[in-house]
Amino acid sequence: MLPAIEVKQVCKHFGNLHALTDIDLEIHAGEFFALLGPNGAGKTTLISIIAGLSLANSGSVNVMGHNVRTQYQQARRNLGVVPQELVFDPFFTVREVLLIQSGYYGIKENARWVDEIIERLDLSDKANANMRALSGGMKRRVLVAQALVHKPPVIILDEPTAGVDVELRQTLWDFIKQLNQDGHTIVLTTHYLEEAETLCHRVAMLKEGRIVALDSTNNLIGKMIAGKSVRLRLVPDKLPPTLQPLQISHHDGIAELKIENYAQVEFILSSLRTADIQILEMHLQQPDLEDVFVSIMRNSGNQSK
Amino acid sequence: MTGFLTLLYKELLRFWKVGFQTILAPMVSTLLYLLIFLHVLEAHVEVYPDVAYTIFLIPGLVMMAVIQNAFANASSSMIQSKISGNIVFILLSPLSYRAIFFAYILASIVRGLLVGLGVYLVTLVFFDISLQLPLWALLFVILGSALLGALGLIAGIWADKFDQLAAFQNFIIMPLSFLSGVFYTIHSLPIAWQYLSHLNPFFYMIDGFRYGFFGVSDISPYISLLIVAICLLAISLLAIRMLKAGYKLRY
The Cα–Cα gap between A33 and A155 comes to 10
- Residue A295 domain-assigned (yes or no): no
Q: Domain count for chain B, please give it.
A: 1
- Residue B104 domain-assigned (yes or no): yes
- Residue B251 domain-assigned (yes or no): no
Q: Residue A55 belongs to what domain range?
A: 5-221
**pLDDT tens string A210-240:** 998 888 888 888 777 667 888 899 888 888 8
Mean pLDDT by 10 residues, chain B (251 residues): 94 92 91 84 66 83 93 96 94 95 97 94 87 94 97 96 94 91 81 87 93 90 96 97 94 84
The reply to whether A121 and A146 lie within a common domain is: yes
Contact criterion met (CB < 8 Å) for B94 and A55: no
The reply to whether A206 and A261 lie within a common domain is: no
**Confidence label for A172 from pLDDT (cuts 50, 70 and 90):** confident
- Secondary structure of residue B210 in the 3-state scheme: helix
CB-based contacts of B186, cutoff 8 Å, min separation 6? B193, B194, B197, B198, B203, B218
Select from A55, A84, A89 the residue whose CB has the most chain B CBs within 10 Å, as the one to mutate to test that interface.
A89
A202 Cα to chain B: minimum distance (Å): 25
At CA B128, angle to CA B122 and CA B129, rounded to 5?
80
The reply to whether A182 and A62 lie within a common domain is: yes
The Cα–Cα gap between A70 and A78 comes to 14
The reply to whether A133 and A262 lie within a common domain is: no
- Residue A23 domain-assigned (yes or no): yes
Question: Using CB atoms and an 8 Å cut-off, which of residues 90-149 of chain B contact chain A?
Answer: 90-96
The reply to whether A118 and A237 lie within a common domain is: no
The Cα–Cα gap between B129 and A286 comes to 88
The reply to whether A209 and A252 lie within a common domain is: no
The reply to whether A151 and A280 lie within a common domain is: no
The Cα–Cα gap between A141 and A172 comes to 8
- Residue A301 domain-assigned (yes or no): no
The reply to whether A249 and A130 lie within a common domain is: no
* B220 reaches A (C-beta below 8 A): no
A171 Cα to chain B: minimum distance (Å): 24
Q: Is A227 exposed, middle or buried (0-12, 13-18, 19+ CB in 10 A)?
A: middle
DSSP characters over A232-283: EEEESS---TTTGGGEEEEETTEEEEE-SSTHHHHHHHHHHHHTT-EEEEEE
Q: Residue B28 belongs to what domain range?
A: 2-245
Using CB atoms, pick whichever of A90, A91, A105 lies closest to residue B94: A105
Are A49 and A25 in contact by the 8 Å Cβ rule? The answer is: no
- Residue A292 domain-assigned (yes or no): no
ipTM of the complex: 0.88
Question: Using CB atoms and an 8 Å cut-off, which of residues 34-63 of chain A contact chain B?
Answer: 51-55
The reply to whether A274 and A196 lie within a common domain is: no
What pLDDT is recorded for position A192?
Answer: 86
**For residues A130-156, average pLDDT:** 93
The reply to whether A201 and A258 lie within a common domain is: no
The Cα–Cα gap between A54 and A46 comes to 8
DSSP characters over B51-95: EEHHHHHHHHHHHHHHHHHHHHHHHHHHHHHHHHSTTHHHHTS--
The reply to whether A25 and A142 lie within a common domain is: yes
Listed residues A221, A255, A270: the one ending a domain: A221
**Confidence label for A191 from pLDDT (cuts 50, 70 and 90):** confident
pLDDT at A305 over 50: no
Task: Give the amino acid at A110.
Answer: N
Nearest CA in chain B to A15: B251
B61 Cα to chain A: minimum distance (Å): 30
Q: Domain count for chain A, please give it.
A: 2
Instruction: Report CA-CA distances (Å) from B7 to A35, A99, B36, B237.
Output: 33, 11, 39, 20
pLDDT at A302 over 70: no
**Chain A residue numbers touching B244 (CB-CB < 8 A):** none
Q: What is the pTM of this model?
A: 0.88
The reply to whether A100 and A239 lie within a common domain is: no
